[in-house]
Amino acid sequence: MERAALLRSSLSCTNRAFFSFRPPSIPFFRFSRSSSSSSSSSALRTHRHRPILRPSSGRPLRRTSLLPLPAASTHFATRFSSLSTRAVATPLTPSPSEFSGVSDEVAERLGFEKVSEEFIGECKSKALLFKHKKTGAQVISVSNDDENKVFGIVFRTPPNDSTGIPHILEHSVLCGSRKYPLKEPFVELLKGSLNTFLNAFTYPDRTCYPVASTNSKDFYNLVDVYLDAVFFPKCVEDFQTFQQEGWHYELNDPSEDISYKGVVFNEMKGVYSQPDNILGRIAQQALFPDNTYGVDSGGDPKVIPKLTYEEFKEFHRKYYHPSNARIWFYGDDDPTERLRILSEYLDMFDGSSAPNESRVQTQKLFSEPVRISETYPAGEGGDLKKKDMVCINWLLSEKPLDLETELALGFLDHLMLGTPASPLRKILLESGLGEAIIGGGVEDELLQPQFSIGLKGVSQDDIQKVEELVMSTLKKLADEGFDTAAVEASMNTIEFSLRENNTGSFPRGLSLMLRSMGKWIYDMDPFQPLKYEKPLLALKARLEQEGSKAVFSPLIEKFILNNPHRVVVEMQPDPEKASRDEAAEKEILEKVKAGMTEEDLAELARATQELKLKQETPDPPEALRSVPSLSLRDIPKEPILVPTEVGDISGVKVLQHDLFTNDVLYTEVVFNMSSLKQELLPLVPLFCQSLLEMGTKDLSFVQLNQLIGRKTGGISVYPLTSSVRGKEDACSHIIVRGKAMAGRADDLFHLINCILQEVQFTDQQRFKQFVSQSKARMENRLRGSGHGIAAARMDAKLNVAGWISEQMGGFSYLEFLQALEEKVDNDWERISSSLEEIRKSLLSREGCLINMTAEGKNLTNSQKFVGKFLDLLPRKSSLAATTWNARLPSTNEAIVIPTQVNYVGKAANIYDTGYQLNGSAYVISKYISNTWLWDRVRVSGGAYGGFCDFDSHSGVFSFLSYRDPNLLKTLDIYDGTGEFLRQLDMDEETLTKSIIGTIGDVDSYQLPDAKGYSSLMRYLLGVSDEERKMRREEILSTSLKDFKEFSNAIDAVKDKGVAVAVASPDDVDAAQKERSNLFEVKKAL
């Protein structure tokens, strides 16, 4: 949430940044981890937002998406963080009559039957369930006053093998359709829409196509493109789309080797390079050997090439039918118009047997446990002694659970694993048997719920000990129950989260849709997951009357301890696995080539060139014009301003934002890091974690954690670093971020003071755990988000702020952690005193800043508590300001990891060429990402993503690719960008689309807390409202001439840029041979 305030609606996917994610789609009985006091110890915040994400302790559901989902790495939106803000608040509860419905008569005339109608107080909405009479398509229409309108269409798509049909189809249907006969209307929407969300997801048993926008005209454009895409896609008639998105043999010349290419093929190669992902897939398939969850809907790279085009077409015919669809509308638009749009499509179809054929079958429970042992790819020459993984997994029930049981299980899950102080999590980490938790706790998004828990970074000799510890801890919890304070803290955390309904920049309507779909897709009540008030009250009453032990102990015993449907998955590192898999693939391809005649090879080479030509040939203007778009008249000329009052309390600047927040107070306390010694920078993330996860003189860390959970909505601490345009020195701060009900402002500021001033850095063993956990997270990030590592590394070579950030969250930080593990044992006293020194250098009123967002009366009432907090701070820092003037050497680097895909970056500072910032740069860089890089790196090159980023604060322009089968070819594409711009010919309509899409990024949708946070960032970076107005005018007046002129600036990347690749050993070796010693090579993992 901390980073989302500055990003483009963070899951809008108008931008290309990528990570495996779980959107806030969980039903109300499944609660997020670490919500009571998230330390964000690994979450370095830079203003460009390439932080290391605080990973969920839960294992993500095996879900894939059309676009890589935004994370913390470089992406387009970051360029607008200082320009954008739009806020929306949850309104006061309206009466049901305030929202218009659809009369039975109108529904009948449009071909629908109203099944049910409810007012759902929890989301202040009128919800209607319709059934399309002709096809049986089900529609939920949710009406309220949320301007962020959401549409989604979902099909049940259970696969029967691991060829990845649902995933490849999810990519392919958005590559042109009956009404929109161009290569990729989806990309045209990316270029020129005001969408706040645009993507698609493949689950193990369903495929979702959601869109969102605050602009009604734009919203209905998006809806129409998506409906035409799913029902009438070109891909079922166009074999080349199947080849491009799925898989094909590639042969450039008959004398060369054949290779596999395809966007999904390479995406899944990346997935199967990550140990955590491999383990998750193995566990799911072992838990469900007899139904659709026993295969991989995303596709196994070894199996994907077995998929035929005929099977692909048949899957669409069978499942992409209105009879098999669940359709969702949400927001403040006209509910009658929703049905009118749907009827135009649905009336073209008759009924189908698809609902019967797509029904997911139940997995029967085992009579005895199962054990599986597998390997994962590891680097050669590394220490493999403590690199095993073990996860224990249970399938909890054969039949759907009742609502009360589901809620109680979700609560139990939070109690056991939800915070650092939760007993199962704490005991496992404190055991020293492993480095980090794996397994997602309770997972309930599929037909049958599961529970998983384990450790990674385990010695092979300790595997059995981990299993025994899990079982004995669960038995102890069943026998003894939970601490009363822990139950109270969990209840407050859960209630606060439900009532706040803060989904970040993920549209609330989409969060509700995915929540509802968890029941609806299995023919259960779709409204049930949205209504939490009554079951929550019932659970609270039961806890009060019977006690927590009576509620939770039977659940632990029945569903876990006495449940024989248990699968233990062990995974060992195998340094030869990656090369063995590559050799096996090569052998298959050699046999394929050996079985071909000369004519066959010539034909394959011709087909390869034909596909590339199609991919690189622009759509004709008449096809482009078919995609509906807005005009500049639809775009507000003025930026949306944030109410900000700058005041002073106890000599400290205080920013206040008077916004409706539903009685929640959001605050940030900002400290200047400028007096911190350079050598202490890598310790800062661990310092942040220590503040929230070590105890005080009077409180253990468990008690402190529970106090935060009982009194607040959460506190986090993290570093933030950015360049400031026109200045050499970096903007570098520690931010303490907290939220609470306004009536608990005193508690909130008291607890912030407590963690800052009273926490003691004395617990050596806990600190050692922090180091191990951070190291495990960084290693996982290197494999799964290598583009983020490459981006941080390039920044560190180009400016001081980048160097600082990389010390606290890049490859240098990983190297620091690896060395620190031994030092904790040998030199703890020095480390402890260094942590104390960091505190002394930070804590003072001098350079402190307070930011608050709430209703005016609550801001006024909170001021006395702010004053009390500030009076307890030292007036000045005991240490003098220091200067950080370091950068990494400007050499090209290759960081070698065991992977089947690459992450390739190249960057330079274009301000060094004399370029002066103009708003047109935002339009141009977005256009480059959505055309040149999309077509060459993703479509033709086969990478999952390719994009560029311009950091207007530092002047760094960077190119990055994600899950890329190429290395040198991608660098050559980057170097060709300047020439692409010089040769560019663009009509007025295309230019207008690009401008509108850019404004969509600038006017990103934000909830009130994010709005206040964005205002804080602009204040810290010196970005005024006048500058925002000027940049907006420059964006709106962008011309083709600006594109041509920018080509000279971007040539700096080709001529003077630094390249960093996180890549496989084979690809780096090949690159070094082809271009003699292009890279300085570093081995990792």
Contact of 19 with 784, CB cutoff 8 Å: yes
| DSSP 3-state of 985 | coil
Nearest 10 degrees: CA dihedral of 452, 453, 455, 456? 20
Q: Would you call 868 helix, strand, or coil by DSSP?
A: helix
Q: Which of 2, 184, 188, 245 is catalytic?
A: 245
Strand, helix or coil for residue 458: strand
Computed on alpha carbons and rounded to an integer, the radius of gyration of the chain in Å comes to 28
The torsion defined by the Cα of 235, 239, 241 and 244, in degrees rounded to 10, comes to: 150
At 1037, list the tokens: 């007046």
Q: Are strands 125-132 and 138-143 parallel, antiparallel or unpaired?
A: antiparallel
Alpha carbon distance, N-terminus to C-terminus of the chain: 30
Tokens representing residue 984 in the block: 């560019």
**Catalytic one among 2, 170, 570, 855?**
170
Beta strands in 723-842 (DSSP E): 731-741
DSSP H or E stretch at residue 954? none
Task: Give dist(CA 965, CA 940) in Å, integer.
Answer: 11
Of 128, 93, 100, nearest to 114 by C-alpha is: 128
Q: In 272-373, which ranges are continuous DSSP H helix?
A: 275-287, 309-319, 335-346, 354-357
Tokens at 550, concatenated: 């009576």
Q: Are 16 and 945 in contact (CB under 8 A)?
A: yes
CA–CA separation, 436 and 769 (whole Å): 8
Task: Give the β-pairing of 325-331 and 138-143.
Answer: parallel
Tell me the C-alpha distance between 44 and 54, whole Å: 9
Which residues lie across from 819 on neighbouring strands? none
Looking at residue 734, its amino acid is I
Task: Give 280's contacts (C-beta < 8 A, 6+ positions apart).
Answer: 59, 60, 62
Is 245 an annotated catalytic residue?
yes
As a whole number of angstroms, the distance between CA 105 and CA 401 comes to 37
Q: Which long-range contacts (CB under 8 A, 24 or more apart) does 917-921 make?
A: 917/725, 917/952, 918/1034, 918/1042, 919/1030, 919/1031, 919/1032, 919/1033, 919/1034, 919/1035, 919/1038, 920/1034, 920/1035, 920/1037, 920/1038, 920/1039, 920/1042, 920/1043, 920/1046, 921/79, 921/950, 921/952, 921/1046
Q: List the structure tokens of 184.
A: 């990729």
Q: Annotated catalytic sites, by residue? A: 170, 245
